[in-house]
Every structure is written in C-alpha cells, then in structure tokens.
C-alpha cells in the first residue's frame, strides 16, 4: 500500500503563522461583503441612470409631440389663411376669414411660447412669430385699403399682395421644415427607446457574468484553496498558507485564524510529546539504575582495594586499577548521557538520518529494559537503504514507545523482531514484531485514539500511540498495525526517503543481524 505524502515533508518545516497574520493585518480590508455590496450598488446606479434617462426621454418626447400637435394646428390655420388669401386676390372676398385664421395661428404660438421655445429654440420661434405678425399686419393694411380705396393706390396694393405671398410662404416653409425636423428627432428617440431594453438585457448579462466571476474566482477559488490547505493539514503538513492577495478579506482572515490554530496545536503537540518523553524516561529509569549498579560497584571495590593495598602493590598495578576506575566511570557516564540525550528538551530539528542507525541507537537506549524483561530482540537491516529526513529525537521517541509497549505485554523469554527495509522505491519501513498475546480485533481500531489504553490505572496515559502517529504523520509517513490474538503484533512505520544517497556498504553484506538478550 502506497501512502501519498507531501514532498520534502513540509509539515516538519513550519514557519510561524504570526508573520502571515501580521502581514495580513497590514493589508487593506476589501471583504467579499464589501465587493458584493459595491457590485450591487454599481448595478443600482446603472439601473437608476437608465431609468432617469428613460424618464428624460419620455418628457422630451411629450414636449415634441405637443409641439407637433401645435405645429400641425398652426399649419392648418396658415394654410386656411392662404386659401382665403387666394380667394381674396381672385374674387375680392374672404379677407376677414383670412385675418381670423392668422389671429388663431398667432394665438397658438403665443399661448405655447415656452413649450415651443424649448423644442425648436428661441431663434426659430422668433423668426416664425415675426413672419406671422408681419403677415397679420399686412392683412390689417390690406383690410384698411379694402374699406377705403382712396387711401392707397394700385402700387401699394400690389406691394401688399407681394409681401403677403412672401411671408405666407415663409411661414408655411418654416413650419414645415421645423415639423419635419422634429418628426425625425421623435423617430430617432423612439428608435433609441426601442433599443433600451436590448441594452438593458446586455447590461444584465454583463452583471450575471460579473456575479459568476465573483462566485467562481472570489469565492469558490478561495474555498478550494482552503480545502487543499485542510487536506495538507490532514496528512501532517502544517506549513502556514500565506495570503497571496494584496488586500484582506474574509478568506484571508480565515487562513490567518487557521494558521494561529495550527501554531497553538503545534505548541500543544510539543508539550504532549515532551510529557510523553518524560514518562518514557521514567520507564527507563529502572533499567538505567540497574545498569549503573554494576559500574558503580566495580568503582567502589576497586577504590577500596586501592586504598587498602596502596603501599603493597606496585606502580603498574596501581595504574591498572586507576585505568579500571576511569573505564567504569566512562561506562556510567555513557549510560547517563544516553538517557539525558533522549530526555533533553529541544526544538524540532530536521536533518538527514540513517533509519537503521537511529533504530540501533534506540534499541541501545532500551537495552537495560530489554535485559530486565528477559526478552530476546533480533535486529535486521537491509544494506544501502536511502536516507530519510526527520527529527532524530521525535523519531527515536516513536520507536522507543513501541518497543516499551511490546516489553509491557511480552512474557519473560519472549521475542521481538525489528527489521528495516524497503517499502517501495519512495519509502522505507521499519517493522517491530512481538510474540505477545496480540490485540483483540474489537480494540484494534481504537489503539491510536487519544487516552485509549488497556493498561491498568497508573501504568499508562493512552497517549503514546496517538503522539507517535502524530509525529510520523508530520514526517509524511504512517503507522500500520496488524495483530492476531495468541500470535503477536506487528507495527510498521513507513517513512519517505530523501534524494541524498546512502553510504556504500560492502556488497558481500546482505543482512546485518543483532541480538539483544
């Protein structure tokens, strides 16, 4: 079975999340709520703008339609006046009807002066009104001549007729051109108003694209990033996630909170590992005391002999006894040093390790306990194994914990087999097998649970295997266990290898075996 692990064991190379949290707090806040609110506000402003423009167009259309109605009425009145004007010139009748229609047309202009000026402009209105007033004045002069022919001559009459035709034509022409122009404007505005729904649909489509982009990139992408982050955490990679955006939002705050949580978990895990290490030291103390007893006894006996027989023995014998004292003292110092090296509290240090050497040192550390338990231990190592990356003390603690657990259940005369070899090209595995009573099948799924223990009260905390599993997970590996009642139990610790080549061993050596009794 191949275990998927993070490359280079990033979980063991955690950097302080305080940096990421402090850097995120220094960035400007632009939350998702703010962006969504801003997006809806922009949509509202655009909709408001379109609405206001539509209302403005409606008002303008209303004014232009009113102008067209007035202009049509004006044109009708002027055309009627021109018709009666023609009758007058031909038959000398209907001059009063002409004046009535002109007066009506001028009244239309003056009644709607503000609306007309707003539509056609003051210059056009002034020109139209001026022609109408002149036309009216000419009609009044013509009526005066008609009532009293002696007041004027034929030349004046002809001039009045000519001026009437000119100003009448100008009124009709100007009114017609203005009406045509405004009709065209109205048509253009109606065409534009028909296009507004299309533009609004395009606008809504763009808004939908924006919202889809916001959901996919601004929400779903960070959620997927956090999902990958939690998956890395699940396999033991506690490397903090550094926010990549130049601004701060809810997701970056969530990442910072997760980083702070991981920092606190790592701190508590270190405390748990250290406390469990101290418990292991307590377990080893009995064996260390027994082991120290022999060199201390030898030192005591040799010192007494040297004291009592100092004058009687030769210099060569004195020197031999002193060397024996030094030898026994070095032996005692070595025993104590091994225990202190294991118990010493230090920060996690990742380095290249030889797994076989590390396990041999751990076996040596537990050697006194193995002797006191009367258990045989066989160790086998496949040569030329690749090296691993990890923390020496933490990995040693894992193997020591499993060995001490085996010693607790194996009867005197039992056997432990430790073997180190390949799991596959990318992993190495250490197997620790005992011939103890085995683990019941219904208990086996729970052995890695915190505080689960089958030992009597006061002999176990139930944290050993849980802590060990956490250490191995942070190294990118895993612990497997198989057991049969009455036959024994095998723990397999799998760790990823590094690219650093292992030192060459002799090709004749295929297996190194060590036996501890």
CATH number at residue 293: 3.30.565.10
Q: Are residues 60 and 174 in the same domain?
A: yes
Q: Are residues 330 and 457 in the same domain?
A: yes
Q: Are residues 169 and 317 in the same domain?
A: no
Query: Chain-wide mean pLDDT for the chain?
Result: 76
pLDDT number for residue 238: 67
Do the domain assignments include residue 21?
A: no
Q: Are residues 273 and 200 in the same domain?
A: no
Do the domain assignments include residue 396?
A: yes
Which residue segment(s) compose the domain that 329 sits in?
A: 266-516
How far from the centroid of its chain's Cα atoms is residue 469's Cα? Answer: 29
Tell me which H or E stretch contains 376: strand 376-381
Cβ-Cβ contacts under 8 Å for 74 (sequence gap 6 or more): 105, 108, 109, 175
pLDDT number for residue 245: 59
Q: Are residues 204 and 287 in the same domain?
A: no
pLDDT tens-digit profile of 103-117?
A: 888 888 888 888 788
Q: Are residues 290 and 182 in the same domain?
A: no
Tell me which H or E stretch contains 212: helix 154-213
Q: Which of the two residues, 32 and 199, has the higher pLDDT score?
A: 199
pLDDT number for residue 499: 62
Domain of 145, CATH number, reads 1.20.1420
Q: Are residues 198 and 284 in the same domain?
A: no
Do the domain assignments include residue 226?
A: no
Hey, which of 51-60, 184-193, 398-407 has the most confident mean pLDDT?
A: 398-407
Cα 397 from Cα 345, distance rounded (Å): 12
Cβ-Cβ contacts under 8 Å for 409 (sequence gap 6 or more): 434, 436, 437
Cα 399 from Cα 384, distance rounded (Å): 21
pLDDT number for residue 457: 54
Specify the 3-state DSSP secondary structure of 477.
Answer: coil
pLDDT tens-digit profile of 223-263?
A: 787 888 787 777 666 677 666 655 566 777 777 788 888 77
Check pLDDT > 80 for residue 387.
yes
Q: Which of the two residues, 516 and 246, has the higher pLDDT score?
A: 246
Compute how many other C-beta atoms are within 10 angstroms of the C-beta atom of residue 442.
7
Q: Copy the structure tokens of residue 512.
A: 């190194």
Query: Rg of the chain's alpha carbons, rounded to an integer?
Result: 53
Do the domain assignments include residue 379?
A: yes
Do the domain assignments include residue 3?
A: no
Query: Among 178, 212, 246, which residue terminates a domain?
Result: 212
Please give the tally of structural domains in the chain: 2
Query: Among 212, 234, 255, which residue terminates a domain?
Result: 212
Cβ-Cβ contacts under 8 Å for 494 (sequence gap 6 or more): 3, 423, 427, 428, 429, 472, 477, 478, 479, 480
pLDDT number for residue 276: 60
Q: Are residues 173 and 60 in the same domain?
A: yes
Query: Among 180, 212, 244, which residue terminates a domain?
Result: 212
Q: Are residues 194 and 270 in the same domain?
A: no
Compute how many other C-beta atoms are within 10 angstroms of the C-beta atom of residue 432.
21
């Amino acid at each position: 079975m191949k275990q998927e692990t993070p490359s280079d064991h990033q979980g063991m190379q955690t950097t302080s999340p305080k940096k990421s949290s402090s850097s995120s707090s220094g960035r400007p806040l632009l939350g998702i709520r703010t962006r969504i609110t801003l997006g809806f506000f922009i949509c509202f402003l655009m909709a408001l703008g379109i609405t206001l423009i539509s209302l403005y167009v409606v008002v303008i259309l209303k004014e232009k339609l009113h102008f067209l109605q007035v202009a049509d009425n004006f044109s009708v009145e002027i055309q009627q006046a021109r018709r009666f004007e023609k009758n007058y010139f031909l038959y000398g009748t209907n001059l009063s009807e002409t004046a009535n229609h002109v007066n009506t047309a001028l009244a239309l202009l003056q009644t709607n002066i503000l609306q007309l000026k707003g539509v056609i402009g003051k210059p056009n209105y002034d020109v139209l009104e001026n022609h109408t007033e002149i036309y009216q004045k000419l009609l009044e002069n013509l009526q005066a001549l008609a009532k009293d022919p002696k007041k004027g001559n034929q030349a004046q009459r002809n001039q009045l007729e000519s001026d009437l035709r000119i100003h009448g034509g100008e009124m009709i022409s100007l009114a017609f051109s203005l009406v045509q122009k405004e009709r065209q404007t109205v048509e253009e505005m109606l065409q534009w108003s028909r296009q507004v729904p299309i533009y609004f649909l395009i606008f809504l489509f763009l808004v939908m694209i924006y919202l889809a982009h916001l959901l996919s990139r601004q929400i779903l992408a960070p959620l997927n990033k956090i999902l990958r982050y939690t998956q890395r955490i699940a396999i033991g990679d506690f490397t903090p996630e550094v926010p990549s955006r130049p601004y701060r939002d809810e997701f970056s705050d969530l990442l910072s909170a997760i980083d702070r949580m991981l920092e606190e978990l790592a701190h508590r895990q270190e405390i748990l590992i250290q406390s469990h290490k101290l418990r292991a030291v307590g377990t080893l103390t009995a064996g260390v005391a027994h082991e120290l007893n022999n060199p201390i006894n030898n030192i005591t006996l040799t010192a007494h002999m040297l004291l009592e027989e100092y004058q009687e023995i030769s210099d060569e014998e004195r020197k031999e006894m002193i060397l024996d004292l030094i030898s026994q003292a070095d032996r005692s110092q070595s025993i104590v040093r091994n225990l202190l090296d294991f118990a010493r509290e230090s920060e996690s240090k990742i380095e290249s390790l030889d797994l076989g050497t590390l396990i041999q040192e751990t076996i040596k550390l537990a050697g006194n306990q193995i002797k006191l338990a009367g258990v045989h231990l066989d160790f086998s190592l496949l040569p030329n194994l690749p090296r691993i990356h990890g923390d020496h003390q933490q990995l040693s603690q894992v193997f020591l914990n499993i060995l001490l657990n085996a010693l607790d259940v194996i009867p005197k005369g039992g056997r432990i087999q430790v073997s180190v070899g390949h799991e596959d090209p990318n992993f190495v595995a250490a197997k620790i097998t005992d011939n103890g009573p085995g683990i019941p099948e219904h208990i086996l799924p729970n052995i890695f649970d915190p505080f689960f223990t089958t030992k009597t009260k006061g002999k176990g905390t139930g944290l050993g295997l849980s802590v060990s599993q956490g250490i191995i997970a942070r190294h990118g590996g895993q612990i497997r266990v198989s057991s049969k009642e009455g036959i024994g139990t095998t723990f397999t610790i799998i760790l990823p290898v590094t690219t650093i080549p292992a030192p060459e061993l002799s090709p004749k050596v295929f297996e190194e075996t060590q036996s501890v009794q």
